[in-house]
Amino acid sequence: MWRGGSNTRTCKRRFFSSPTRSRHHRPPYMLHSRGSQHLKAMAEVDHLAAERATARFDVEEMKVAWAGSRHAVHVADRMARLVASDPVFRKDNRTMLSRKELFKDTLRKAAHAWKRIVELRLTEEEADLLRQYVDQPGYVDLHWGMFVPAIKGQGTEEQQHKWLPLAYKFQIIGCYAQTELGHGSNVQGLETTATFDPKTDEFVIHSPTLTSSKWWPGGLGKASTHAVVYARLITEGKDYGIHGFIVQLRSLEDHSPLPGVTLGDIGGKFGSGAYNSMDNGVLRFDHVRIPRDQMLMRLSQVTREGKYVHSNVPKQLLYGTMVYVRQSIVADASKALSRAVCIAVRYSAVRKQFGSQDGGPETQVLNYKTQQSRLFPLLASAYAFRFVGDWLNWLYTDVTQKLEAKDFSTLQEAHACTAGLKAVTTSVTADAIEECRKLCGGHGYLNSSGLPELFAVYVPACTYEGDNVVLLLQLASGKQPVGTMAYMGKVQYLMQCKSAVSSAEDWLNPDAIQEAFEARALRMAVNCAQNISQAASQEEAAGFYERSPDLLEAAVAHIQLIIVTKFIEKVHQEIPGHGVKEQLQALCNVYALYILHKHLGDFLATGCITPRQGALANEQLGKLYAQVRPNAVALVDAFNYTDHYLGSVLGRYDGDVYPALYEEAWKDPLNETVVPEGYHEYLRPLIKQQQLKLSRL
Ligand SMILES: CCCCCCCC/C=C\CCCCCCCCCC(=O)SCCNC(=O)CCNC(=O)[C@H](O)C(C)(C)COP(=O)(O)OP(=O)(O)OC[C@H]1O[C@@H](n2cnc3c(N)ncnc32)[C@H](O)[C@@H]1OP(=O)(O)O
Ligand SMILES: Cc1cc2nc3c(=O)[nH]c(=O)nc-3n(C[C@H](O)[C@H](O)[C@H](O)COP(=O)(O)OP(=O)(O)OC[C@H]3O[C@@H](n4cnc5c(N)ncnc54)[C@H](O)[C@@H]3O)c2cc1C
């Protein structure tokens, strides 16, 4: 939800309380009852009906393909409607609230969501969806998304037994306090200390410097009572590096900070509304004592005597919570992207410009080839990210099960894939939301389009949970040709193969696409490896550093190959529903050929394809856009988003955009009075002064 709070208060103030408000200042259609009846009648018209009629596939079945199962469609539908119909979850003035009002509104919504979850005895799946549709970043995201998973992943059974029930019932509220003012990406560089005191069997948590202040954790600033704090473990005079500790921050009686704890909010963030609903916080410790058993001890322990014992597991398991969150961020990318694309496609079908010579209808902007070539790749990317997200979720579940059985063989692959996919999908999505804003012309810049706030909320995903560049470099440092890197085992073939494409249609062959993408990714990786060894005769690290810009591009090529591969695999599956498979096939081809066209330099420079084959790919892309065009609106309908969730007058399901835009404008606080505040102080004297000057001439 992008906006929040009750609309009643603003309406009353707007229409009945203002002494300076003129009746004639209302929108014309609100002046008499006939006007509003007319508006109602208009609202019943589906302005996009003609678009929906041209779809060549079964939209209901596409909803199933998008959601993953019939059950998933059904549950999502119920939860979305539950939220949309509840006045507490209204979100039509969020960008106009002050920071304090917005934060209080977030607390209110979170409390109400919890009440509904308990009253309706919702399952975990339903509760997650309900929170998703409430759609306002807040402390609960970190409580459920990071605090609980950190305890589950890094706590012993006893610790889980003690802390999880408290967290599940909201008897405590937790956040994830890792990043510090001086260090975020470099986790090993964190400065907060946890020194074991064997005399009292406690850890002393301390912030030795200003730069060691915890800085950024969501939910920390005002809401959390507890945190999982990452600190350097020091025992018997030795520093054992970063470990997690459960630390109580605030009183459970009156919410005041506990002795030795200094904490607050770090201040306003990018955009109005947006992520300002979240209380990202600052936290300092002055020798705060916690019992020894509040160190998360699944991976390593400190004994009563102060001895450090490390279980026989990779130390990177400490980063497990981040891997978990990165895979959910990939799933989320397709949601954010599909929302923006849904708005832009529907509005582009409604919006008309030019094309009429004789006063007849103008052209829908969706019919312009340039609009299609900017928009349809984003539509295809939304589907591509959805399916690769499903696969990543499978990979994560698989690695988790293996870890339970002490099999760590796929840990590195899971880290590389989550890091790389998180980086690529969030960067593309952030850029795509901005592109959708431009695709909606001037109206896209209005808050009521929903796009500015969607962008402002989404864009930090490129930074949080690992800066995208840092994560891509992690991927680039991967060494073994296993899992998704297995194609590297075909090095001899892929280094010399030549694409057999000789016509535009040949690019519809998934094998041709797959081979071109594999050869490009492999050749870029091999080029990097060769350049690294040439750049640094003595040390590999120096060469890696020197060639890191090229490594980034090679990492992106590898991730794009994974996305294309998983889309192709999806389309190969049995997919029920008239025309559904064909549409997905077309979108898969759009995605792959668009990437090929956009990165043509890579494909040509590595000699995977010829310039002529590149031109044929572009020719085929144009044909695919024409194939997508009649299905575009139905393809975004398949996302199954309610108007409430979309939060956009431009993306309304019925396409009745103009009355909605007009009505929204009048809700702005500036329109509460006809004559603005400040007129008598600043405008009138100015005008009068000028008039006086003129009269003297
Ligand atoms: C919460 C739910 C979210 C859902 C998302 C929905 C979004 C919806 C929008 C709004 C809703 C609001 C919700 C928003 C939530 C925001 C949450 C944000 C929370 C945070 O940001 S928490 C802080 C995150 N911080 C980071 O990510 C830091 C990044 N840095 C690192 O990860 C590491 O420091 C590093 C990986 C870059 C380097 O680590 P280091 O120990 O120095 O390691 P290296 O020497 O480079 O590598 C050593 C070795 O380890 C391997 N390795 C590294 N990491 C991992 C890992 N995670 N798993 C496994 N293995 C790992 C590495 O490859 C090396 O291996 P090798 O030796 O080469 O074999
Ligand atoms: C909205 C939001 C919510 C957050 N929530 C939380 C939370 O709940 N809990 C928490 O602990 N943290 C949280 N964070 C912090 C977040 O995880 C960090 O900001 C993130 O990991 C990036 O680290 P940094 O800020 O130190 O960036 P820096 O590492 O300082 O990055 C600055 C620049 O340096 C570049 N750079 C850094 N290292 C390298 C390198 N090795 N090679 C090349 N370039 C490099 C980066 O690409 C970037 O351009 C949040 C951040 C935001 C914005």
- Cα–Cα distances (Å) from 449 to 443, 461, 504, 511, 669, in that order, read 7, 21, 38, 41, 17
Tell me what pLDDT residue 336 has. Answer: 98
Is position 218 annotated in a ligand binding site? yes
- Set out the domains of the chain in order of their start, with CATH numbers: 145-312 (2.40.110.10)
Distance 322 CA to ligand 1 centre (A): 5
Q: DSSP label at 653?
A: T
Q: How far is CA 528 from the centre of its chain?
A: 31
To test the pocket of ligand 2, the residue of 279, 470, 547 to mutate (highest count of ligand atoms within 8 Å of its CB) is 470
3-state secondary structure of 537: coil
Tell me what pLDDT residue 22 has. Answer: 35
**Which residue, judged by its Cα, is nearest atom 28 of ligand 2?**
185
**Which residue, judged by its Cα, is nearest atom 29 of ligand 2?**
185
- Cα–Cα distances (Å) from 264 to 138, 257, 261, 280, in that order, read 15, 10, 10, 8
**Which residue, judged by its Cα, is nearest atom 38 of ligand 1?**
186
For 336-367, how does the pLDDT look when each residue is reduced to its tens digit (9 = 90+)?
A: 999 999 999 999 999 999 987 777 889 999 99
To test the pocket of ligand 1, the residue of 322, 329, 395, 433 to mutate (highest count of ligand atoms within 8 Å of its CB) is 322
| For the CA of 469, the nearest atom of ligand 2 | 47
- Ligand (nearest to CA of 548): 2
Tell me what pLDDT residue 272 has. Answer: 80
Tell me what pLDDT residue 482 has. Answer: 67
Distance 376 CA to ligand 1 centre (A): 32
Q: Cβ(142)–Cβ(217) under 8 Å?
A: yes
In sequence order, which ranges of 135-236 are alpha helices (DSSP H)? 139-142, 148-154, 157-168
**Which residue, judged by its Cα, is nearest atom 51 of ligand 1?**
316
What CA–CA distance (Å, rounded) separates 143 from 219?
A: 8
To test the pocket of ligand 1, the residue of 412, 463, 482 to mutate (highest count of ligand atoms within 8 Å of its CB) is 412
Reply yes or no on whether 60 is catalytic: no
| For the CA of 463, the nearest atom of ligand 1 | 21
Tell me what pLDDT residue 480 has. Answer: 66
What CA–CA distance (Å, rounded) separates 590 from 620?
A: 9
Ligand 1 binding pocket, CB closer than 6 Å: 137, 141-142, 145-146, 176, 178-179, 185-188, 218, 316, 319, 322-323, 325, 328-329, 332, 411-412, 415, 457, 461, 464-466, 470, 474, 477
Distance 464 CA to ligand 2 centre (A): 6
Q: Which of 434, 465, 518, 672 is catalytic?
A: 465
Distance 466 CA to ligand 2 centre (A): 6
| For the CA of 471, the nearest atom of ligand 1 | 37
Residues ≥6 apart with Cβ < 8 Å to 175 = 139, 142, 143, 146, 147, 217, 218, 219, 220, 223, 224, 226, 227, 228, 281
Distance 401 CA to ligand 2 centre (A): 30
- Cα–Cα distances (Å) from 547 to 138, 480, 531, 533, 544, in that order, read 40, 20, 7, 10, 5
Beta-bridge partners for 195: 204, 234
Is position 260 annotated in a ligand binding site? no
What CA–CA distance (Å, rounded) separates 193 from 288?
A: 10
Backbone φ and ψ of 196, nearest 5° = -80, 135
User: What is the interface pTM, i.e. ipTM, of the complex?
Assistant: 0.96
| For the CA of 411, the nearest atom of ligand 1 | 59
Residues with pLDDT less than 50, the chain: 1-43
For 515-531, how does the pLDDT look when each residue is reduced to its tens digit (9 = 90+)?
A: 999 999 999 999 998 98
